Amino acid sequence: MAGQVLTCVHRLRKRLDGTLSGLKAMAKEFLKPHQIKAEIEALSKAVQQKLYDGAFGELLKSA
């Protein structure tokens, strides 16, 4: 009985470790706030203004 419980716990831990590793890998792909700002600054002023005037501008203000 105790052996079965330990086996189950080990399997769950292995699945959790795999899930966490996958989440960490995904998080590395997202742009950080300073990276987003640099990308926007690289755009032309007309394009920047269009972004700020839309819903994206509201998102930037709230972040």
Say what the pLDDT of residue 63 is.
63
Q: Tell me the C-alpha to C-alpha distance, in Å, between residue 50 and each of 2, 5, 26, 35, 45.
A: 63, 58, 29, 19, 9
pTM (predicted TM-score): 0.40
Say what the pLDDT of residue 1 is.
61
d(CA 32, CA 62): 15
Say what the pLDDT of residue 2 is.
64
> Where are the domains positioned within the chain?
1-29, 31-63
Q: What is the pLDDT of residues 1-57, one digit of tens each?
A: 667 766 888 888 888 888 888 888 877 788 788 888 888 888 888 888 887 888 777
d(CA 42, CA 44): 7
